[in-house]
Amino acid sequence: MQDLRAKAELVYRELVALHGFQQLVPRREPMHELISTMLSHQTTEANEERGYQNLRATFPTWEAVIAAPVEAVAEAIKPANYAPAKAKNIQAALATILAERGEISIDFLAERSTEEGMAWLTLLRGVGPKTASLVLLFCFSKPILPVDTHVHRVSQRLGLVNAKTPTEAHEILWEMLPHDAEWLFNYHVALLRHGQRICLFKNPRCNQCPLTEHCLWYAAHRAE
DNA sequence: AAAACGGGGGC
DNA sequence: GCCCCAGTTTT
């Protein structure tokens, strides 16, 4: 177990160096993070960004998004996948947030514990554990690890975890990694970037990876 | 645990 | 044209 922790530190150093040290501050604006992450599911970063920019350009305020016909919101976020469902979810989320304190802001999450924040956010339709984790870590510096498919896959290939489900992968990583927001932020971002750019789901670019000698997947597939 | 949801862009 | 993608919800 202790050697796994050491390996995690090695992976952290190598991948943060490779993909650039990320600053946890200045933190992202919470509403931007929440809505853009809701848009991001099952689509690409470029489409998420276009949908978000188009949404903000179309409606002057979040209140205007709530007031608009759901079809108009769906049209604005069209580049994102599942636009009709996401439009409905975003309007409902904004209405819930407005009801919380009478203004469109989730800054009140700063005063809540990590667990309370997770519970509150995941009550929103269209917000699951990944989205909630990202908002709490990126915007409120809560020590929490978002385990998306990239973090899971890269951790798995490097032998850091051997888990059937994302939930199990999260439990193992949480036991192993430091519970420090900046460390977790860098780990998440570094493994995400690695998964997107080098450790691809299919045909990973192992010739660009500094960790092949520590990689179980590479050891099993190097003959191919 | 597995399927449904469902669309733009890269190859 | 085929297949993938910062996931969530429902069966």
**CATH code of the domain in which A56 resides:** 1.10.340.30
One domain, residues A135 and A204: no
What are A188's two structure tokens?
């998440």
One domain, residues A70 and A12: no
Range of the domain at A170: 1-23+146-221
Q: A166 CA to B2 C1', in Å?
A: 14
Q: What total number of domains does chain A contain?
A: 2
Q: pLDDT of A41-59, one tens digit each?
A: 999 999 999 999 999 999 9
One domain, residues A108 and A180: no
CB-CB neighbours of A159 under 10 Å: 15
The rounded distance, in Å, linking the Cα atoms of A44 and A80 is: 8
pLDDT at A166: 83
One domain, residues A78 and A166: no
One domain, residues A127 and A169: no
Give the residue with minimal CA–C1' separation from B4: A82
Exposure letters A96-135 (e unless 16+ CB within 10 A, then b): ebeeeeeebebeebeebebeebbebbeebebbebbbbbbb
Residue A2 has pLDDT above 70, yes or no: no
One domain, residues A100 and A164: no
Residue A204 has pLDDT above 80, yes or no: yes
One domain, residues A34 and A112: yes
One domain, residues A18 and A69: no
pTM assigned to the model: 0.93
One domain, residues A130 and A42: yes
Q: pLDDT of A105-148, one tens digit each?
A: 999 999 999 999 999 999 999 999 999 999 999 999 999 999 99
Q: A91 CA to C1 C1', in Å?
A: 35
One domain, residues A3 and A40: no
Chain A 142-171 residues whose Cβ is under 7 Å from strand B: 164-165
Sign of CA dihedral A74, A77, A78, A82: negative
Distances, alpha carbon A44 to alpha carbons A127, A148, A205, in Å: 18, 14, 20
One domain, residues A5 and A73: no
Q: Above pLDDT 70, what percent of chain A?
A: 97
One domain, residues A115 and A159: no
Q: Above pLDDT 90, what percent of chain A?
A: 86
| Domain end point (choices A91, A109, A140) | A140
| Domain end point (choices A120, A140, A160) | A140
- Chain B positions with a protein C-beta closer than 7 Å: 1, 5-10
Residue A185 has pLDDT above 90, yes or no: yes
First-to-last CA distance in chain A?
A: 31
CATH of the domain at A6: 1.10.1670.10
| Domain end point (choices A140, A174, A203) | A140
Q: Which residues bind near strand C, taking a CB cut-off of 7 Å?
A: A 37, 40-45, 48, 81-82, 122, 124-132, 134, 148-150, 188-189, 192, 195-196, 200-202
